[in-house]
Structure 1
């Protein structure tokens, strides 16, 4: 295979690593089955053709002949049969005149003579056809047979110290710090974390970071459901599921989280009812006084105001706070769950992507609120700005272990990069030392005068700590499709008004335009009409008034989070693309997924077993397979890790089509957007000054709200 690999690299110097690996795997796995070069061409010919712009089909077939010869030197191509060379020029006119007499001569020109030994045996032919059919059936079923079964749940194991077990058994453990030692987490047969330790000091805020699919969310669930043991007296709250909708109003739903307050108020009502019913028990008044004293101690009268401040910061207006929880959508119920967690203040608060359901105003408020968080916080987030603002420490999950770093994400990156450089320098220095000592040993191994010195050198080598080469995480790259330029005008909205009914006007007087060079970001509060505007732009919704003009060759690619939620969870990623874009070879589906980081066995896992970020990449791959020339992206960063968000920003900047983006990720907005559209006050306007100007506006609004203006 090494010879084949070098040959492929020499013939196709521009082939990327993923495609080269794929071609080598096909050749390696099918080496025993390929009967001739035609079968090799069927397997990899189209892939090789696409990576080479200067080679014809015949060139590719010749290369396949060479590959067959390398794999099976004894095989020779019989595609063209034996050649016959004419001894002299032939005059076809005279031969035609004497056709009957010279029919054998004419045949000798056009018909290849075949040795009887080469004639096809009917039984062998039937057997070969059956074998070929079996091979084709095997290839068509390959994707389904390789796909692993659906994974249901994760498991954890942990070693606890004898001292902690004794303290826990006695009930005397009162420490607020948390230490989880020597634990493993697996998902099915796949080990996610092995032999890891976590120390969480009370009052510090930890950001848990790492690539998609490594087990960050799983770790939070293991802690919250006590599969990883922590002291029983420490209260934990994990914001993972939305609040169940019922008749309870939003404000009351938050207040219910304070169980002590709720029990005291319930007791107060029971005692008051007894007094009103004429109870003569002297103890009743005493009990009521005690309840009032306890309510005063916990400042129960201030609780509604505190809950209202939290709800308001997360976007709930006064009217919304008075509505029943069942009237809210899933996104707002998730905000309600977050509000309940912030109000209840557990000893350990676990947050998984808290910014996903928030608009920029709410994110800025949450960043400010959590900077004064009094207990321990462990948060999984891929919002770079959030991680630079909130955490006091970073926990980096990689290579099945967790490394702690002091400081925010920016400091973590600097420290990590410096640490990797030092480790690489230390490794290279030791390799040089080992090489130098080994050369001395080899040179004087058989020199009796140097025997003692050689032995000491050998012992020195054995005592040296074995350093491993530094393995850097692979760089994430995303590739958006190439597009052809279109002549303007491309997209224009003139005097647009949209209402859902007579009373509910979303926006009016909208006059905006976009070109193939546009990098537009739409911002605004939730409910201001951002998604509605996107649907009008794409023609999914028609404006109530005004005109929408688009170029006749404009082809939209639309990405939204509900597309990820609606993926078929029971198939693998390759099958998913097959369903959406029929009639293409499997290699093309795999190549498309590979350009979004879903390659190898990952592409053959059921979609249900993928992480949220991996599902997003699959949705991106499916969208781009339609080769759109104008992208409309609605919150594309939800669940993507920091490296992938960075790669998405770079891919958008390289993309030759237009882009309109709705996002709350400040770093992505700053990376790509040249124009900012703000939804609010019943209209949509383009503002000068970009995101910096918008952030100033939002901070002024939050400051005014905090002062009660």
Structure 2
């Protein structure tokens, strides 16, 4: 960068200009300016990339103008210094487009310029066409350099966006949430208005506009489902609310469940209890005041303290203790442990695991612990991001029933339609930088949205017809003396009509798995199979299965019962300790793991990853395969690390297709997929000519795809004799009662 300015100076200047800017934004701008010392070549680089970031961070427009002008002037000086240093050996070099018109050249010495604007393409003789000599003032070498420079600039602009996204996405979230969400005495906020009304706000992330001039209203006590396509910015909206980057009233407590909790030696039950910081504060005060009171019982004033002062202090301690006890009683602190244990049990933690240290749990169970802590705290606004992803069907049912009685405000991002139907009282639909509000659950939203779109389309068609009628009248009569005045009036009416925008049409998503070659039975059988990870304790006993090419089987049951283990036994990743597994000699499996993201090399592009693991095809064939799962355009050439969770899932599905399997084994395939992608996967599985085995908690997905349900619990796998997943859900509820 400029020799007279270092990164610390740039960081200080940005901080002075925009004091409230996030560390990630400051670090990005500083790193970007430092790594792009020739940014002055692009006249719009500062205005197009640095300025918007400063504006989004909330800076004063005049201060931002001065800072951007200062950056531009420094880069201009840096450019001039570089040119002076190169003047001795590069006098004839390019100095921008302004010096292209220096050296005359005859067009006969060049190939013609093609329609694409590139030199050396085609063989048209312009001199022969015109019949005369054409003298051009264009220096061809300089023109070629200019074209190369323009191409480099376009590539650099694309790289900037990727650079910004990677910097901001890789940045650890170091914000101290306790600073923006301090410990609140929630007994003192009773009676205060806790509705949230935010108007005309914008949200941007990594240089991409998420919401523009949006409004958000949430009535206290209502439960809102936030839906929208993958990558639209739903999680970003939740983070802005939790960090109070949107002006939520300070007396409203907020808790955001987004990531699994960090494991340590704290027992699970104690970790849940500690989540209520106000209760922990009161208990700490109780211990401190009781110790102080016990010390005062000795009746000895401190050195330099009168007896009267000593009595006054003892009376104050006594009053403070009574107040603490009163507040502990008001929050029912004595019932807290029973309530925490009940929440843990509902989320699948057996009583013997309540006192296990949190570090002993896997990532999925720690995610449940984070959810349990949030439910125990009862914040005024609870923010949940895909809470059902790590839950089995019994836990999802419990969570639905628990949230239906949630007394405060709830905003939940979910793609599980049945869950939203059970929980949501309102739907917020995020699309095209807008946020629309619909009353009712998901089913009501879907019907209302379809009717609203139909009305918008009808209104659009009427407007098009009306404008066409006006234009036809104008075209017919504008030059007729008798009708000219009327035609002029119609012209004025047409000019005053607002710009016509067609209703938003969402692009459809389609998935397609290749159909396998036919196999003759028997295809896949398990006979009296038993398995355990240790010889002393069997996890599964006496499993019997017979699967055909048209099988559509859902394996359900509580977490830890062995569902994923069954899938590994089917595919041969594990072998039974007893019993027999028969697989057809030409049978091919494709396994979609619940932790499929861990199997992707995020440092590669999707095309590179496929070529590395399934070589032998051209880039076009890999891109065509990705396109069959909604990864289109340049997305397949982006690094996997820059893709959203849903896009990573689609890449994994595309990789399954490359294996041309006879059986698809899918472990929680709908996690991270948006509703349109789930619909596309449902259709693709229905059309697939091979067998399908699914482990899933998504009720609607199971009902749409599978015709058999197998229940894994208590060490056994048995076919459910009831009628579909809804009856199994009733069976689970009846067991809990």
Instruction: State the TM-score, normalized to the length of structure 2.
Output: 0.72
Question: More deviation in 448-457 or 375-384?
Answer: 448-457
Q: Deviations over 1:383-411 (max 9, x none)?
A: 01011111111111111211111111111
Contact 1:509 1:683 in 2 (8 A): yes
Q: CA deviation at 1:609?
A: 1.7
Whether 1:216 and 2:237 are equivalent positions in the alignment is no
Q: CA deviation at 1:261?
A: 1.8
Partner of 1:152: 167
- Cα 1:624–1:30 change in 2 (3 A) is farther
Partner of 1:697: 731
Q: Secondary structure at the match of 1:179?
A: strand
Say which of 268, 271, 275 aligns to 1:253.
271
Contact 1:147 1:605 in 2 (8 A): no
Partner of 1:184: 202
Q: CA deviation at 1:29?
A: 11
Question: More deviation in 232-241 or 176-185?
Answer: 176-185
Whether 1:573 and 2:606 are equivalent positions in the alignment is yes
Whether 1:352 and 2:385 are equivalent positions in the alignment is yes
Say which of 455, 459, 474 aligns to 1:422.
455
Partner of 1:562: 595
Q: CA deviation at 1:147?
A: 9.9
Whether 1:634 and 2:683 are equivalent positions in the alignment is no
Q: How many corresponding residue pairs?
A: 560
How does 1:5-84 map onto structure 2 within 5 Å?
none
Question: More deviation in 370-379 or 224-233?
Answer: 224-233
Q: CA deviation at 1:285?
A: 4.7
Q: Deviations over 1:674-696 (max 9, x none)?
A: 11111101111111123233212
Q: CA deviation at 1:280?
A: 2.9
Provide the C-alpha distance between the structure 1 equivalents of 2:721 and 2:199, rounded to a whole number of angstroms: 53
Q: CA deviation at 1:180?
A: 2.5
Whether 1:445 and 2:478 are equivalent positions in the alignment is yes
Partner of 2:248: 230
Question: More deviation in 183-192 or 232-241?
Answer: 183-192
- Cα 1:401–1:34 change in 2 (3 A) is farther
Provide the C-alpha distance between the structure 2 equivalents of 1:391 and 1:568, rounded to a whole number of angstroms: 37
Whether 1:600 and 2:626 are equivalent positions in the alignment is no
Provide the C-alpha distance between the structure 1 equivalents of 2:659 and 2:587, rounded to a whole number of angstroms: 12
Over the aligned positions, Cα root-mean-square deviation in angstroms equals 2.7
Question: More deviation in 456-465 or 246-255?
Answer: 456-465
Provide the C-alpha distance between the structure 1 equivalents of 2:599 and 2:655, rounded to a whole number of angstroms: 13
Partner of 2:467: 434
Contact 1:492 1:514 in 2 (8 A): yes
Provide the C-alpha distance between the structure 2 equivalents of 1:515 and 1:30, rounded to a whole number of angstroms: 56
Provide the C-alpha distance between the structure 2 equivalents of 1:649 and 1:199, rounded to a whole number of angstroms: 34
Partner of 2:359: 326
Say which of 353, 371, 392 aligns to 1:338.
371
Q: CA deviation at 1:276?
A: 5.5
Provide the C-alpha distance between the structure 2 equivalents of 1:32 and 1:645, rounded to a whole number of angstroms: 45
Partner of 1:496: 529
Q: CA deviation at 1:193?
A: 2.2
Q: Deviations over 1:579-635 (max 9, x none)?
A: 222231110111011000000122222212211111100111112112111110000
Q: CA deviation at 1:31?
A: 9.6
Q: Deviations over 1:276-304 (max 9, x none)?
A: 66733544555443332322222111111
Q: Secondary structure at the match of 1:497?
A: strand
Partner of 2:224: 206
Q: CA deviation at 1:701?
A: 2.1
Higher relative contact order (CA 8 A, sep 6+): 1
Q: CA deviation at 1:573?
A: 1.7
Instruction: State the TM-score, normalized to the length of structure 1.
Output: 0.75
Say which of 552, 555, 563 aligns to 1:519.
552
Partner of 1:455: 488
Provide the C-alpha distance between the structure 2 equivalents of 1:299 and 1:687, rounded to a whole number of angstroms: 43
Provide the C-alpha distance between the structure 1 equivalents of 2:419 and 2:283, rounded to a whole number of angstroms: 38
Provide the C-alpha distance between the structure 1 equivalents of 2:294 and 2:546, rounded to a whole number of angstroms: 69
Q: Secondary structure at the match of 1:426?
A: helix
How does 1:51-200 map onto structure 2 within 5 Å?
148-149=162-163, 151-153=166-168, 175-200=193-218
Partner of 2:682: 649
Contact 1:520 1:673 in 2 (8 A): yes
Alignment gaps of 5+ in structure 2: 1-113, 126-147, 172-188, 300-313
Alignment gaps of 5+ in structure 1: 1-27, 36-71, 76-133, 156-170, 704-709
How does 1:360-379 map onto structure 2 within 5 Å?
360-379=393-412
Contact 1:676 1:691 in 2 (8 A): yes
Provide the C-alpha distance between the structure 2 equivalents of 1:290 and 1:181, rounded to a whole number of angstroms: 40
Partner of 1:107: none
Say which of 562, 571, 584 aligns to 1:529.
562
Provide the C-alpha distance between the structure 2 equivalents of 1:450 and 1:341, rounded to a whole number of angstroms: 73
Provide the C-alpha distance between the structure 1 equivalents of 2:507 and 2:116, rounded to a whole number of angstroms: 29
Q: CA deviation at 1:174?
A: 5.4
Q: Secondary structure at the match of 2:483?
A: helix
- Cα 1:145–1:271 change in 2 (3 A) is closer
- Cα 1:419–1:323 change in 2 (3 A) is same
Provide the C-alpha distance between the structure 2 equivalents of 1:197 and 1:287, rounded to a whole number of angstroms: 44
Provide the C-alpha distance between the structure 2 equivalents of 1:580 and 1:34, rounded to a whole number of angstroms: 39
